[in-house]
Amino acid sequence: MRLRLVEEKAANLNRKVELLESNGVSFQRKMKDELRLLDSDVLELKHAVEQLRQQMDLVIRELKLAAGKHELQTLQRYLDLWNPARFVTRDELSRMMAGTSNQESEQKIDSSAADEEEISPPAVDGNAAKGAGKSKRL
């Protein structure tokens, strides 16, 4: 009986050892798989960080090329000085020039008519009244 108890205990211990070994092996496999996944995740994160670093460098380079506050203030002063809202378009200028030339030609016609009236001598007799506006030759 004693022998049988010792054999049973030994068999139980062997089963427990086998169970522990199998659990240890399965645990080791799971840990290896998780380590591989973590390694791939870390590698992806490294690539993402590198891409972000490159994009930040690009943004920094572009910002260095952008106009600064002082340059924008200078540009604002020039715009205020020139005030492009007061500029005229080509069409507006053409219309203004056409209107000015029409007015000038009307003024010239009016002034030349007034000059002719001033040049003609006043009428003296009835015959002269017929030829009013014409000068007499002597």
Cβ(94)–Cβ(109) below 8 Å: no
pLDDT at 130: 47
Per-residue pLDDT at 112: 59
Alpha-carbon Rg of the chain, whole angstroms? 55
pTM of the model: 0.44
CA distances in angstroms from 116 to 76, 130, 131, listed in the order given: 57, 17, 14
What pLDDT does residue 44 have? 97
pLDDT of residue 133: 46
pLDDT tens readout for residues 37-90: 999 999 999 999 999 999 999 999 999 998 889 999 999 998 888 887 777 788
Q: Return d(Cα 3, Cα 18) in angstroms, integer.
A: 22
Decide: helix, strand or coil at residue 15: helix
- Give yes or no for residue 117 having a pLDDT over 70: no
Nearest CA to 134 among 110, 121, 112, 113?
A: 121
Contact at 8 Å (CB) between 109 and 115?
no
Q: What is the mean pLDDT of the chain?
A: 81
Quickly state the pLDDT bin for 114 (edges 50, 70, 90).
low
| Helices first, then strands: H and E counts in the chain | 4, 0
* Whole-number Cα distances in Å, 78 to 10, 59, 96, 106: 99, 29, 27, 41
* pLDDT confidence tier of residue 110, bands split at 50, 70 and 90: low
